[in-house]
Amino acid sequence: MFNIVLHEPRIPGNVGTIGRLAFALNCKLHLIKPYGFGEINEKQVRRAGLDYWYDLEVYEYENIEEFWQKYPMNDRHFFATTKTNRVYFQAEFKEGDFFYFGREDAGLPQSFLEKNEQGCITIPMTNNARSLNIANSVSIVAYEALRQNFANFK
């Protein structure tokens, strides 16, 4: 279906929650190291992911360059950021797209956003919040992509 890319995630419970969502939507989960915690098999990750974690299609990469060697940059890579005005529901998503989410404490590096400015998307907020929880953000974008492509997955 879709590809969820977490760049240097910091909180194991968020990774587990996102893994559970990825399983529910039949998405692949790509995790880019280094993590802000130990190993991906930590108890906190498994607890949030419940028993779905073992059936999830999850891949780990030592760094973003290793990931981009396997999945070169193109117009099907979307970067969630607060540093753009293009809202996520203005993008046209297709099966196989890549949705990137950055560290909980820093977001995605500016260099990623500059590589693909047309792929930057944001989730609008009507108050002065700095950002949303990463698991909520992944859910919002992934379900919009599903909504746009639902007829393909029935």
**Mean pLDDT, to the nearest integer, of 90-95?**
96
Q: Report the candidate in 1, 32, 44 with the shortest Cα–Cα distance to residue 102.
A: 32
**pLDDT band of 154, cuts 50, 70, 90:** low
Which 8-state DSSP code applies to residue 36?
S
**pLDDT band of 92, cuts 50, 70, 90:** very high
Phi, psi (rounded to 5 degrees) for 4: -105, 125
Q: What percent of the chain has pLDDT over 70?
A: 91
Tell me the torsion sign for CA atoms 146, 147, 150, 152.
Answer: negative
Tell me the torsion sign for CA atoms 131, 109, 143, 42.
Answer: negative
Give me 116's structure tokens.
């693909």
**Mean pLDDT, to the nearest integer, of 24-34?**
95
Binding site listing? 102, 123, 131
**pLDDT band of 50, cuts 50, 70, 90:** low
Q: Are 12 and 37 in contact (CB under 8 A)?
A: yes
In 81-125, DSSP assigns E strands to 98-101, 120-121
Alpha carbon 151 to its chain centroid, in Å, reads: 23
Sorted by where each starts, the structural domains of the chain and their CATH numbers stand as 2-152 (3.40.1280.10)
Binding site listing for S-adenosyl-L-methionine? 102, 123, 131
pLDDT of residue 76 exceeding 70, the answer is: yes
**Mean pLDDT, to the nearest integer, of 32-52?**
69
**Mean pLDDT, to the nearest integer, of 115-125?**
93
**pLDDT band of 43, cuts 50, 70, 90:** low
